């Protein structure tokens, strides 16, 4: 996909290192306007570094990045008026109330809560009952909503959210992503990094980063469909022993827990899944797991990512 | 006295002034079970765990962990359990080896045991090459796995894990869970809290705390069947949004009265 | 509401809500001045005096009476011979002794030199020399008022300690103490404030905003100027009320100089914390960077004139040195700006330099 000039983000060959550690090893990608773009990947993979560069907080050693058509290094003051950023951890003032935090960030951007009220209403309405509560006393989900509100109050054209839902409970996460969907619908470009695969599914496109590189970038559906080996789901009463047994089956490529099943990936790419299913049932029965139910499974984004990330050093996978 | 129950909780309650954080919970965990202790932030999970690990005295009710009463024998409880939380696990400015030695010392292990067990642990995790690196130089996923192993160093009978895989990638999370399974297979009882609903499925049984009480408890399969949902995620959402007036408050973005009284992250 | 005003208001919230900080800022300086002031006084009181008067006469009695009246001495023994003194001094029962020659008054009346031996216990040299000088002063006071003897020429040495006639050491110390306390508190406060933002992660959010570094720094320094001003007023109050240090010059001048001095210290605190993100490191840096130089090189305790010249040269860059000079001049000598324009200019330049340096040191990104 070639970048078009109207893209919200254009990164070309970004490189960044911290001492001996290479954080970004040459990253190139682009994000069109009004896209909800997800970034997933292991910790230390470079996600935060990338977001900080795009938010004008860090300078890359090599390569360029343009946000909203502006260079992140040269035009940082103009960009800082037009982007919104949520850092990876809670970045608000714990001893100030919800209202005071919001009012402060509005002032810093030269506006007021009253002026932007209609713009932030969807989120602020959820916060308003607690507007006099100290930020430190809010629950995790509320804190993140407040941080989002503060990042939005100056009507940015693009949002960079670095792991905004880590450590937040499932209900609040859903509510948060509903808000993101609303924002995207109103034309906002959003880049989000997340460790949750179900959130990756809600993005227009997802990128997988590991070791400072892009391993994959496409729509969630395409990524899921790019899974290139037979995948089966095994349901068994005694999960762990079944898992260990499966690891010893002759053509196994990988076995891992997956929700309420175990996912088994066969090494033989061309073999039809149904045939493998029958084989596997017999194998498990011979090991004493006659109750196991084996059937072909549809690969998900998570399966693809696991396949692409490969096993980091020191895994006991087969 | 406890038979094969590693954790036995009867009507455990904890009040803070007028506010009830935990309102009489009852459940048990069998030896070698992997028990998922779920709930939204502020539902009372952390308070409950603090009581079970001997850090907080109950207001009323009883709980027995590893055969000791948490109110009367808190010190014995602490000696027989392991604990790991995502907020604090290892000292970042000490090396891997130093951390292991430190915890070994805290739990009164003999030097020889510390040496043997740490060698085995490092081999298991394939971290021998990093044994003399500072913990802060090691990626998060490794740190979590190491912290878990260190929590098991003194071979406790029960181990409490508080959001141990927070923020960690899918592969490392699974590796972590294999460590959990390993431990459980060896007879260690594991009580774990998590926000990853797929990890809930990995547990033998789970409980979901809502507003200080247990809203649902059972095996994942049972609960999905009883509540007629296809995933634990949906179950969670349904439970955390009860019907009635509190649902209305929720739908308009507010929090229920309970949450209003308590909406701090009590962890 | 402008960005800067928003910043100032936020900082005020922080100051007011962190009750411990508030107490430290307002109560601590006052407390320190009191404690230090009383502890460091090198005045000597209740000097234990032994008197050897073999033949008490009108003169010896008059002299002894004077000693009593001086309020500094305390008679502990009256003996007719010198021998017991040895034991009294050894035991520490006496710190000083007055030994009259036999026939003191008679010899004086005849114009012959009369011997009066003043013995001071100099194992504590400070006390020793003070006892000696007190005693000498009492004698001279007597000599001045005694009827001149026939034909004798009396030389009355006039030893007066200018501006500190009673030799109360508070007058010398308290201005220095003010500088000491003000500089520590000021640099600590800004150092803590800036690194607290770094530690909580809020600095990252501030950096991504349109706020320029100078705005952030002004937003941090300005509120503490107000707080520092309250401290200045506090310590001046203490100096006047508790230690009775005079204020012979203009109060407004002193307050203005105090504010300039605080500005210097606040900027120093920012500079120290611009490069570190740990509160502890910043606090240590602030303490060491202000406490030691102020204690040793400002003329606070140790006079500058008696230091070797390399140290005197270094003291030129210690802000407290200039403020101590200013404070002593204004309070004890009563001079005005005409005499003090030079130290004032030095302080203003220091403030400017430090503020500029800290703005430069303050990165507009997470790294540079």
Structural domain spans, chain A: 9-218, 228-298
| pLDDT higher than threshold 80 for residue A248 | yes
C11 and A CB contact within 8 Å: no
Q: How far apart are CA A277 and CA A293, in angstroms?
A: 9
Q: Give the pLDDT score at A247.
A: 92
Q: Name the residue facing A95 among C5, C14, C368 (closest C-beta).
A: C14
Residues of C within 8 A of A136 (CB-CB) are: none
Structure tokens at C222: 């300005």
What digits encode the pLDDT tens for the residues A141-161?
889 999 999 999 999 999 999
Task: Indicate the average pLDDT of chain A.
Answer: 89
Across the interface, whether the CB atoms of A58 and C366 are under 8 A apart is answered yes
If asked whether residues C123 and C265 sit together in one domain, one would say no
Among A24-28, A313-317, C242-246, name the most confident range. A24-28
If asked whether residues C54 and C188 sit together in one domain, one would say no
Span A291-311, mean pLDDT? 88
For A:16-75, CB contacts with B below 8 A are 40-45
Domain membership of residue C106 as a residue range: 47-145
Q: Name the residue facing A107 among C6, C13, C365 (closest C-beta).
A: C6
Buried-exposed string C113-145: b where 16+ CB fall within 10 A, e elsewhere:
ebebebbbbeeeeebbebbeebbebbbbebeee
Residues of C within 8 A of A107 (CB-CB) are: 1-3, 5-7, 9
Q: Name the residue facing A96 among C13, C366, C367 (closest C-beta).
A: C13
- DSSP string of A185-245, one letter each residue: HTT-EEEEE-S-HHHHTTSSEEEEEETTEEEEEE-HHHHHHT--S-EEEEE-SSHHHHHHH
Across the interface, whether the CB atoms of C365 and A57 are under 8 A apart is answered yes
Terminal-residue alpha carbon distance, chain C: 31
Residues of B within 8 A of A142 (CB-CB) are: 255, 263
Residue of A nearest to C9 (CA): A104
Tell how many helices (H) and how many strands (E) occur in chain C. 14, 4
A142 and B CB contact within 8 Å: yes
Tell how many helices (H) and how many strands (E) occur in chain B. 11, 10
Q: How far apart are CA B46 and CA B162, in angstroms?
A: 8
**Residue C89, domain CATH:** 3.40.1710.10
* Range name among A154-158, B174-178, B238-242 with the lowest pLDDT average: B238-242
- How far away is chain B from the Cα of A146, in angstroms, using its nearest Cα? 13
Across the interface, whether the CB atoms of A93 and C10 are under 8 A apart is answered yes
For C:173-232, CB contacts with A below 8 A are 200-202, 204-212
Indicate the Cα dihedral angle B190, B192, B196, B198, nearest 10°: 30
- DSSP string of C109-147, one letter each residue: HTT----EEEEE-TTSHHHHHHHHHHHHHHHHHHHHHSP
If asked whether residues C117 and C192 sit together in one domain, one would say no
Q: How far apart are CA B64 and CA C173, in angstroms?
A: 65
Q: How confident is the model at residue A80 (pLDDT cuts 50, 70, 90)?
A: very high
Query: In a mutagenesis test of the B interface, which of A167, A196, A300, A318 is the best target, namely the one with the most B β-carbons within 10 Å?
Result: A167
Complex-level ipTM beyond the 0.90 threshold: no
Q: How far is CA B185 from the centre of its chain?
A: 18
Across the interface, whether the CB atoms of A104 and C366 are under 8 A apart is answered no
Structure tokens at A271: 């073999």
Tell me C93's DSSP state: S
Q: Give the pLDDT score at A317.
A: 33
Across the interface, whether the CB atoms of C7 and A108 are under 8 A apart is answered yes
Q: How far is CA C263 from the centre of its chain?
A: 20
Q: H or E segment at B136? A: none
Q: CB–CB of A164/A147 below 8 Å? A: yes
| pLDDT higher than threshold 60 for residue B171 | yes
Q: CB–CB of A252/A317 below 8 Å? A: no
At A161 the three-state DSSP class reads strand
C364 and A CB contact within 8 Å: yes
At C313 the three-state DSSP class reads helix
Q: Give the pLDDT score at B246.
A: 37
**Cα-Cα-Cα-Cα dihedral sign, residues B136, B142, B147, B149:** negative
Residue C41 vs residue B261, higher pLDDT = C41
| pLDDT higher than threshold 80 for residue B249 | no
Q: CB–CB of C89/C82 below 8 Å? A: no
If asked whether residues C24 and C64 sit together in one domain, one would say no
Q: What percent of chain B has pLDDT over 70?
A: 88
Number of domains forming the structure of chain C: 2
Q: Nearest CA to A67 among A121, A14, A111, A144?
A: A14
Burial classification of residue C90, based on how many CB atoms lie within 10 Å of its CB (0-12 exposed, 13-18 middle, 19 or more buried): exposed
- How far away is chain B from the Cα of A307, in angstroms, using its nearest Cα? 9
Q: Name the residue facing C205 among A56, A87, A95 (closest C-beta).
A: A87
Residues of C within 8 A of A93 (CB-CB) are: 10, 13-14, 200, 202
Across the interface, whether the CB atoms of A198 and B168 are under 8 A apart is answered no
Residue B159 has phi, psi (to 5 degrees) of: -125, 135
A286 and B CB contact within 8 Å: no
Q: Give the pLDDT score at C368.
A: 56
Subunits adjacent to chain B (3 or more Cβ pairs under 8 Å): A
If asked whether residues C183 and C287 sit together in one domain, one would say yes
Q: Give the pLDDT score at C351.
A: 93
Ranges of residues in chain C whose predicted pLDDT is under 50: 150-167
Q: Nearest CA to B45 among B173, B200, B180, B214?
A: B214
Is C366 part of a structural domain of the chain? Answer: no
For B:119-158, CB contacts with A below 8 A are 125-127, 139-141
Q: Nearest CA to B168 among A213, A240, A163?
A: A163
Tell me A271's DSSP state: S
The neighbouring-strand residues paired with A191 are A37, A160
B259 and A CB contact within 8 Å: yes
Subunits adjacent to chain C (3 or more Cβ pairs under 8 Å): A
Q: Give the pLDDT score at C42.
A: 57
Q: Give the pLDDT score at A5.
A: 65
Residue of C nearest to A159 (CA): C208
Across the interface, whether the CB atoms of B253 and A125 are under 8 A apart is answered yes
Residue C112 vs residue A86, higher pLDDT = A86
Task: Indicate the average pLDDT of chain B.
Answer: 83
Q: Nearest CA to B69 among B148, B28, B9?
A: B9
Is C211 part of a structural domain of the chain? Answer: yes
If asked whether residues C126 and C231 sit together in one domain, one would say no
Q: CB–CB of B77/B245 below 8 Å? A: no
Q: Which CATH class is domain A9-218?
A: alpha beta
Is C164 part of a structural domain of the chain? Answer: no
Across the interface, whether the CB atoms of A104 and C10 are under 8 A apart is answered yes
Largest CA distance in chain B: 61
A and B touch with 3+ CB pairs <8 Å, answer yes
Residues of B within 8 A of A313 (CB-CB) are: 126
Indicate the Cα dihedral angle A216, A220, A224, A227, nearest 10°: -10
A132 and B CB contact within 8 Å: no
Query: In a mutagenesis test of the C interface, which of A60, A70, A79, A104 is the best target, namely the one with the most C β-carbons within 10 Å?
Result: A104
If asked whether residues C82 and C55 sit together in one domain, one would say yes
Q: What is the pTM of this model?
A: 0.76
Span B20-30, mean pLDDT? 92
Q: How far apart are CA A245 and CA A239, in angstroms?
A: 10
Buried-exposed string A233-260: b where 16+ CB fall within 10 A, e elsewhere:
bbebeebbebbbbbeebebbbbbbbbbb
Across the interface, whether the CB atoms of A57 and C3 are under 8 A apart is answered no
Residues of A within 8 A of B220 (CB-CB) are: 260
Q: CB–CB of B135/B143 below 8 Å? A: yes
If asked whether residues C124 and C197 sit together in one domain, one would say no
| pLDDT higher than threshold 70 for residue A293 | yes
CATH of domain A228-298: 3.30.70
What digits encode the pLDDT tens for the residues A169-204?
888 888 899 999 999 999 999 999 988 888 999 999
**In whole angstroms, how far apart are CA A75 and each of A39, A67, B65, B175?**
25, 10, 60, 44
Indicate the Cα dihedral angle A297, A303, A307, A313, nearest 10°: -120
Across the interface, whether the CB atoms of A56 and C202 are under 8 A apart is answered no
Span A198-225, mean pLDDT? 92
Across the interface, whether the CB atoms of C208 and A85 are under 8 A apart is answered yes
Residues of A within 8 A of B185 (CB-CB) are: 240-241
Is C367 part of a structural domain of the chain? Answer: no
Across the interface, whether the CB atoms of C6 and A103 are under 8 A apart is answered yes
A85 and C CB contact within 8 Å: yes
- Whether domain B5-262 has CATH 3.40.50.300: yes
What digits encode the pLDDT tens for the residues B47-69?
899 899 888 899 999 999 999 99
Pairing relationship of beta strands A158-162 and A62-67 according to DSSP bridges:
unpaired
- How far away is chain A from the Cα of B69, in angstroms, using its nearest Cα? 31
If asked whether residues C119 and C210 sit together in one domain, one would say no
A and C touch with 3+ CB pairs <8 Å, answer yes
Tell how many helices (H) and how many strands (E) occur in chain A. 11, 14
Across the interface, whether the CB atoms of A42 and B195 are under 8 A apart is answered no
A94 and B CB contact within 8 Å: no
If asked whether residues C60 and C31 sit together in one domain, one would say no
Q: How far apart are CA C113 and CA C100, in angstroms?
A: 12
Query: In a mutagenesis test of the A interface, which of B171, B233, B256, B264 is the best target, namely the one with the most A β-carbons within 10 Å?
Result: B171
**In whole angstroms, how far apart are CA B39 and each of A283, B44, B48, B200, B206?**
39, 8, 11, 11, 10
Q: What percent of chain A has pLDDT over 90?
A: 61
Last residue of a domain, one of C92, C111, C145: C145
E strand spans, A1-152: 9-18, 21-31, 36-40, 62-67, 70-71, 83-86
């Amino acid at each position: 996909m070639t970048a078009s000039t109207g893209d919200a983000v254009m990164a070309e060959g970004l490189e960044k290192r911290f001492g001996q550690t290479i954080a970004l090893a040459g990253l190139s990608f682009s994000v069109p306007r009004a896209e909800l773009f997800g970034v997933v990947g292991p910790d230390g993979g470079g996600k935060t570094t990338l977001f900080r560069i795009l938010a004008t907080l860090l300078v890359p050693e090599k390569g360029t990045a343009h946000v909203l058509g502006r260079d992140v290094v040269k035009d940082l003051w103009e960009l800082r008026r037009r982007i919104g950023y949520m850092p990876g951890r809670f970045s608000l003032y714990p001893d100030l109330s919800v209202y005071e935090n919001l009012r402060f960030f509005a002032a810093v951007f030269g506006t007021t809560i009253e002026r932007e009220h209609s713009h932030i209403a969807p989120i602020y309405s959820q916060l308003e009952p607690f507007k006099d509560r100290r930020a430190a006393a809010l629950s995790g989900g509320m804190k993140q909503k407040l941080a989002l509100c503060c990042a939005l109050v100056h009507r940015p054209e693009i949002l960079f959210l670095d792991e905004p839902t880590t450590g937040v409970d499932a209900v609040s996460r859903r509510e948060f992503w509903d808000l993101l969907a609303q924002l995207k619908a109103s034309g906002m470009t959003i880049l989000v990094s997340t460790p949750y695969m179900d959130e990756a599914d809600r993005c227009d496109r997802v990128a997988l980063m590991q070791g400072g590189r892009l391993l994959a970038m496409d729509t969630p559906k395409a990524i899921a469909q790019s899974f290139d080996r037979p995948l089966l789901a095994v349901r068994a009463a005694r999960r762990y022993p079944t898992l260990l047994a499966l690891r010893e089956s002759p053509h196994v490529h990988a076995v891992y827990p997956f929700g309420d099943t175990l996912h088994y990936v066969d090494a033989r790419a061309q073999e039809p899944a149904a045939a493998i299913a029958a084989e596997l049932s017999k194998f498990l029965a011979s090991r004493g797991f006659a109750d196991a139910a084996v059937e072909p499974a549809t690969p998900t984004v998570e399966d693809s990512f696991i396949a692409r990330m490969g096993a980091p050093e020191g895994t006991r996978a087969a | 006295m406890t038979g094969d129950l590693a954790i036995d909780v009867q009507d455990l309650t904890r009040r803070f002034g007028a506010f009830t954080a935990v309102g009489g919970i009852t459940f048990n965990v069998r030896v070698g079970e992997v028990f998922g202790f779920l709930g939204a932030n502020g539902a009372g999970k952390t308070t409950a765990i603090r009581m079970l690990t001997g850090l907080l005295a109950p207001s009323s009710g009883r709980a027995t962990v590893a055969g000791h009463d948490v109110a009367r024998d808190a010190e014995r409880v602490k000696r027989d359990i392991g604990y790991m939380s995502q907020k604090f696990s290892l000292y970042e400015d000490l090396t891997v080896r130093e951390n292991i030695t430190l915890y070994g010392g805290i739990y009164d292990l003999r030097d020889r045991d510390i040496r043997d067990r740490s060698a085995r642990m490092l081999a298991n995790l394939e971290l021998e090459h990093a044994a003399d690196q500072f913990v802060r130089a090691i990626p998060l996923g490794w740190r979590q796995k190491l912290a878990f192993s260190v929590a098991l160093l003194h071979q406790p009978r029960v181990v409490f894990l508080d959001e141990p895989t927070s923020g960690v990638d899918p592969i490392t999370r699974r590796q972590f869970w294999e460590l959990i399974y390993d431990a459980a297979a060896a007879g260690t009882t594991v009580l774990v809290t998590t926000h990853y609903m797929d990890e809930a499925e990995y547990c033998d049984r789970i409980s979901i705390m809502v507003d200080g009480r247990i809203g649902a408890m059972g095996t994942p399969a049972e609960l999905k069947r009883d509540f007629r949902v296809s995933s634990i995620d949906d179950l969670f959402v349904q439970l955390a949004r009860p019907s009635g007036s509190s649902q209305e408050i929720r739908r308009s973005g507010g929090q229920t009265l309970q949450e209003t009284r308590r909406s701090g992250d009590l962890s | 509401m402008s960005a800067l005003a928003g910043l100032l208001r936020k900082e005020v919230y922080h100051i007011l809500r962190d009750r411990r900080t508030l107490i430290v800022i307002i109560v601590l300086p006052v407390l320190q001045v009191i404690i230090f002031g009383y502890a460091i006084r090198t005045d000597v009181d209740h000097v234990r005096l032994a008197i050897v008067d073999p033949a008490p006469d009108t003169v010896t009695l008059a002299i002894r009476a004077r000693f009593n009246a001086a309020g500094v001495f305390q008679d502990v023994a009256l003996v007719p011979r010198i021998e017991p003194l040895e034991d009294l001094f050894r035991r520490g029962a006496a710190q000083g002794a007055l030994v009259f020659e036999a026939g003191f008054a008679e010899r004086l009346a005849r114009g012959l030199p009369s011997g009066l031996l003043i013995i001071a216990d100099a194992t504590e040299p400070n006390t020793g020399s003070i006892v000696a000088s007190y005693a000498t002063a009492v004698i001279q006071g007597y000599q001045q008022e005694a009827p001149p003897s026939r034909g004798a020429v009396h030389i009355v040495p006039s030893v007066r300690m200018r501006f500190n006639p009673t030799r109360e050491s508070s007058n010398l110390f308290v201005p220095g103490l003010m500088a000491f306390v003000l500089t520590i508190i000021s640099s600590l406060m800004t150092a803590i404030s800036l690194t607290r933002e770094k530690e909580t992660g809020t600095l990252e959010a501030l950096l991504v905003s349109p706020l320029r570094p100078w705005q952030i720094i002004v937003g941090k320094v300005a509120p503490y100027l107000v707080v520092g001003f309250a401290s200045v007023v506090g310590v001046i109050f203490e100096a006047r009320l508790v230690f009775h240090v005079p204020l012979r010059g203009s109060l407004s001048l002193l307050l203005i100089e105090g504010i300039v001095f605080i500005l210097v210290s606040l900027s120093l605190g920012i500079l120290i914390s611009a490069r570190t993100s740990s509160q502890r490191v910043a606090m240590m840096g602030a303490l060491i960077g202000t406490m030691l130089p102020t204690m040793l090189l400002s003329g606070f305790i140790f006079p500058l004139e008696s230091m070797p010249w390399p140290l005197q040269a270094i003291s030129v860059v210690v802000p407290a040195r200039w403020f101590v000079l200013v404070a002593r001049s204004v309070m004890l000598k009563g001079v005005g700006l005409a005499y003090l324009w030079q130290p004032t200019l030095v302080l203003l330049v220091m403030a400017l330099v430090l503020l500029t340096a800290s703005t430069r040191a303050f990165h507009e990104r997470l790294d540079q």
